[in-house]
Structure 1
């Protein structure tokens, strides 16, 4: 039943009750009963159709108690009680729809922003095309305020609002040539985007697919609630029958039925789990399903990749060690000038460091590169060689190599046939990595494992910095799977990674979380959840959200069912009339839904 149908039922029930009360006050008892009965009958017929459809789908019809209560009220002439039950049921349906809509708001907002068309720029001018027609290499004009339809490269500096992807509220300046992800909004003047991939393979399309499938699978806890409801129905019918049999008063049996509608089971679990998924989504973590959220709530072992997950995943210059007589700034300027001709990742880091230091870099000449070894050429007439010690040793005599910190890459430089100095690079630990691990332990993680394909020394160094309980280094994807399998013997495993080589481990773990802000698409497809922002601490946020949602769901069910059972006993003993029972049950429903919505907010443990 969709929201429009639920609204119509609520209007019908409310109109019947209001009109019936007005007619009763006017002394028109017969017309009052007809109005109350008509409002009840409309809701009852709709409910019976809903129950029949559920049974046809081989789902247990959880609303059968409400149907029995309304049918019993009509049969016994308890017109007011029937009308109240009908209004309460229709109101509960609308309350569930509104609560679920509120809980899904952050996720469905993504769908509303998805662009449908784009302006392609070619020799004939501008042409509006559907985004499905965009091909790699197309030049797209993105006007101010428009959403980037595909992943691409900026042809000029741009100001982008990436809040929908990263959660960051302030626009970000991106230089010409920088990669821009679909889903970002152009916050500046019109820009030209060179498409890098089709819309179907772009970042935003992948996010939308995850959102659309997020609620497709029914979570295990919801299925468990349905099994509990079967037992609850049997207990309700037994108590109702005994109350009628022992007292001879059918009104007592009806009172038991109207207070026994299992709405706490129907509402608490789905609302709390969707609220938890929404809480994670607002923090930049897209959980694919309620089942994944439940599994995340029960993990006890955290396994993490190193490069790109715990570390920045890109080297940066951390020290310049010039030879005697060589100025530090001149060593940086000349080395970076030559490295402009190289596509090596260390060369890019060196050029970026020189530009950040304000150096104007002249163009190199006579450049020769030996792949994986180094580069030689001339800058401003000076002969320069840069690269490994073995490569530079062919161009100049070198002093004896000194000790260096594990995980540090050393680049040697020679100028005019003489040793000029060394440049030190590191893949730095993320600033939030130690805090994330500490928060994960507060969230219930008992064992932290670092699983890396990197060498032993740098992996051990990072493991010590974050406080890992175990470090497995130099592991290829196959060996990583063996580690995951071994760890699963001790508890449920959460795997966090970002590279293509992490995809198999993400799929094998009980829960896989992919760092997708800078990673490839493969980990996101294999994972159960995706971190859309470049912040590792959001992994801990997702853990807290999952545990809080599950705890609140269980709490809501326990409280709701306990209160319902107490009300049923009171009704069976004659302390509650059918009308009073219906009103009390609706109060229980409202309390359960409001409690379940607490999962939208953070818990106290997240800030300790």
Structure 2
């Protein structure tokens, strides 16, 4: 059933129940008891009918829930003429289901952002030119043109002298790579340089990016949703309720006592307290930049024991940064950065953009370069303030100055060197790296304190790079060189031992996010696909907010459980009192309302949760 239509039905049932209760009260007070009974009955019947349909569906799925108690209480109250009590129960129940629906919302949305990124057409060479063709028309061996900024539509091999590919959506690697003739060009990667050609190796339906889309869909379908917390108590509570009601009827011969027991037993503390506490938790988590897509993911967060983290963009910033500036002449560090950034203004290279951003952050004035020539993926040459400047890879600069490529020996493994040459001489080097987030170490300590027993790294990077980056964090394991399906396999393996949370930011992480008990996406700069596949999205670019989110989830769930235990305890006490004739059905319904108010007020304490 469409979720929007289902929500409308719940709203309608609540309005009908409220209208019936209010109309009946007015008629009763105006001296028309018969018409009041009809109004109360009219308000009950739609809710009861919808409840019976839901019970039948649940039983068909092999599930037994507390909805049966509510149906028994309304049915018994109508059967024995206690229409006011039945109307009160109908309002309580329909209000509870509406609130639960509001709390959960839709836990999943269509993967429209992921699918919209998949190219619909490709540019193919023909005998006398080029043409736009649908992806389905591409066959292995076709020669395709990949323009600047295009997403590679199918897996292929580079047919030009070189290409510059941004593969971050596939591998999570933040730095684009240079590809030469014959290298693989995977679908889903982006052309970050000049136009180039590829030879298609396989149809679109069998290509890498299409496989990632399928992995997300399959993982979402295979993942069993968590049962409502209330349903875990259903069999025991149902048995106790029926036993007390039958015993009261058997020993006294008065069916009204059984009705009173059933009315008091209507499990509104379970139906109401849980969603109220979790909705409050959702609201509180959002205040800290943690968007949780419903009450079920929040409850799942509270039970996480294993955390799997992606590296690039999650534990690291995901953007190359300058970690050192090496001088090889009279120029100061600011001079080196200023000249390099001035020339890099003419380049779209991610490293060039990072250099420009660093210079502007220092407040440096950047002259406009002239006579700029760029070799995509290698470097840029041009004039800056009358000086001939070269900026690029160490080998690129060395080849144009007659010097040797300089290699650092004391900087982070996997660093990228940006050489600067001025008027034919190497003037300095910028050492670029994707450093660990400053808040990562503190987050690990807080996560351990929150009961996360096992923390792993899952990355597509090389093992030596991954080990170097996370050294000292105290991770339980590092899994490197993982393809998207490898991350899914890791999540599946870890889920056999304990509930798993997966955190990532790239398209390549989306299948693993969908497969985990809780998937968390970095929403500020992460891929839209990962945000769609995830249960939780961090709206601020700080991974340590994850610890705050988990704390809010655990405390919200604790408050919900507290409300449940206290509410059910009071309900059982009321059932016993009703069995001994101390409460009439209407009094029992009113008592249940008092219990409801108490547990709701307690549940709202989740709005005041203040995580460390």
TM score, norm. by length of structure 2: 0.69
Instruction: Find the partner of 2:246 among 223, 231, 241.
Output: 241
CA gap of 1:445–1:493, structure 2 versus 1, over 3 A, is same
- Contact kept, 8 Å, 2:563 with 2:602, in 1: the verdict is yes
Matches within 5 A, 1:190-229: 220-222=226-228, 225-226=230-231, 228-229=233-234
Matches within 5 A, 1:319-330: 319-330=324-335
Instruction: Find the partner of 2:507 among 500, 509, 518.
Output: 500
Instruction: Find the partner of 2:544 among 537, 540, 543.
Output: 537
CA gap of 1:22–1:405, structure 2 versus 1, over 3 A, is same
CA distance in 1, matches of 2:527, 2:262: 55
String of CA shifts for 1:221-269, please: whole Å, max 9, x gaps. 32x6347445534433332222222233444333323322222233333
* Counterpart in the other structure of 2:11: 3
CA distance in 1, matches of 2:583, 2:272: 24
Matched, 1:562 2:582: no
- Contact kept, 8 Å, 1:333 with 1:359, in 2: the verdict is yes
* Counterpart in the other structure of 2:446: 439
Matched, 1:341 2:346: yes
Instruction: Find the partner of 1:406 among 404, 407, 412.
Output: 412
- Contact kept, 8 Å, 1:396 with 1:414, in 2: the verdict is no
Instruction: Find the partner of 1:519 among 523, 526, 539.
Output: 526
* Counterpart in the other structure of 1:187: none
Matched, 1:390 2:395: yes
| Greater RCO, CA 8 A, separation 6+ | 2
Residue 305 of structure 1 deviates from its aligned partner by: 1.2
CA distance in 1, matches of 2:581, 2:26: 27
* Counterpart in the other structure of 1:332: 337
CA distance in 2, matches of 1:3, 1:483: 42
CA distance in 2, matches of 1:484, 1:49: 42
CA distance in 2, matches of 1:534, 1:505: 20
Which secondary structure does the structure 2 equivalent of 1:444 belong to? coil
Matched, 1:20 2:28: yes
- Contact kept, 8 Å, 1:570 with 1:576, in 2: the verdict is yes
Count of paired positions: 482
CA distance in 2, matches of 1:254, 1:502: 54
Matches within 5 A, 1:591-606: 591-602=598-609, 606=611
Instruction: Find the partner of 2:427 among 420, 424, 428.
Output: 420
Residue 321 of structure 1 deviates from its aligned partner by: 2.7
Which stretch of the first structure deviates more once superposed, 36-45 or 424-433?
36-45
CA distance in 1, matches of 2:534, 2:86: 44
CA distance in 2, matches of 1:587, 1:549: 22
Residue 8 of structure 1 deviates from its aligned partner by: 4.5
Which secondary structure does the structure 1 equivalent of 2:227 belong to? helix
- Contact kept, 8 Å, 1:396 with 1:419, in 2: the verdict is no
CA distance in 1, matches of 2:563, 2:315: 37
* Counterpart in the other structure of 2:152: none
CA distance in 2, matches of 1:97, 1:524: 28
CA distance in 1, matches of 2:97, 2:529: 35
CA gap of 1:96–1:419, structure 2 versus 1, over 3 A, is same
Instruction: Find the partner of 1:571 among 566, 569, 578.
Output: 578
Unaligned regions of 5+ residues in structure 1, if any?
24-30, 75-81, 111-213
CA distance in 2, matches of 1:479, 1:316: 29
Residue 496 of structure 1 deviates from its aligned partner by: 0.6
* Counterpart in the other structure of 2:42: 42
* Counterpart in the other structure of 2:436: 429
* Counterpart in the other structure of 2:85: 85
CA distance in 2, matches of 1:482, 1:55: 36
Residue 495 of structure 1 deviates from its aligned partner by: 1.1
* Counterpart in the other structure of 1:471: 478
* Counterpart in the other structure of 1:379: 384
- Contact kept, 8 Å, 2:73 with 2:259, in 1: the verdict is no
CA distance in 1, matches of 2:376, 2:47: 73
- Contact kept, 8 Å, 1:495 with 1:511, in 2: the verdict is yes
CA gap of 1:431–1:53, structure 2 versus 1, over 3 A, is same
- Contact kept, 8 Å, 1:218 with 1:290, in 2: the verdict is no
- Contact kept, 8 Å, 1:13 with 1:86, in 2: the verdict is no
Residue 314 of structure 1 deviates from its aligned partner by: 1.0
Residue 400 of structure 1 deviates from its aligned partner by: 6.6
CA gap of 1:368–1:294, structure 2 versus 1, over 3 A, is same
- Contact kept, 8 Å, 1:229 with 1:262, in 2: the verdict is no
CA distance in 2, matches of 1:478, 1:579: 58
Residue 422 of structure 1 deviates from its aligned partner by: 1.8
CA distance in 2, matches of 1:22, 1:501: 67
Residue 471 of structure 1 deviates from its aligned partner by: 2.6
CA gap of 1:72–1:257, structure 2 versus 1, over 3 A, is farther
- Contact kept, 8 Å, 1:219 with 1:294, in 2: the verdict is no
Residue 361 of structure 1 deviates from its aligned partner by: 3.0
String of CA shifts for 1:44-71, please: whole Å, max 9, x gaps. 4344433444356456753223214422
CA distance in 1, matches of 2:247, 2:73: 19
Residue 498 of structure 1 deviates from its aligned partner by: 0.8
Instruction: Find the partner of 1:309 among 273, 293, 314.
Output: 314
* Counterpart in the other structure of 1:585: 592
Q: CA RMSD in A?
A: 3.6
* Counterpart in the other structure of 1:117: none
Residue 291 of structure 1 deviates from its aligned partner by: 3.9
* Counterpart in the other structure of 1:169: none
String of CA shifts for 1:147-192, please: whole Å, max 9, x gaps. xxxxxxxxxxxxxxxxxxxxxxxxxxxxxxxxxxxxxxxxxxxxxx
String of CA shifts for 1:108-135, please: whole Å, max 9, x gaps. 9x9xxxxxxxxxxxxxxxxxxxxxxxxx
- Contact kept, 8 Å, 1:68 with 1:257, in 2: the verdict is no
- Contact kept, 8 Å, 2:277 with 2:606, in 1: the verdict is yes
Matched, 1:356 2:349: no
* Counterpart in the other structure of 1:510: 517
* Counterpart in the other structure of 1:162: none
- Contact kept, 8 Å, 1:103 with 1:600, in 2: the verdict is no
CA gap of 1:337–1:220, structure 2 versus 1, over 3 A, is closer
- Contact kept, 8 Å, 1:69 with 1:85, in 2: the verdict is no
Residue 497 of structure 1 deviates from its aligned partner by: 0.7
String of CA shifts for 1:520-565, please: whole Å, max 9, x gaps. 2222333333333323233223323333343333333322222222
* Counterpart in the other structure of 1:170: none
Instruction: Find the partner of 1:262 among 243, 247, 267.
Output: 267
String of CA shifts for 1:462-483, please: whole Å, max 9, x gaps. 3235442333344443544454
- Contact kept, 8 Å, 1:219 with 1:289, in 2: the verdict is no
* Counterpart in the other structure of 2:139: none
CA distance in 2, matches of 1:272, 1:366: 64
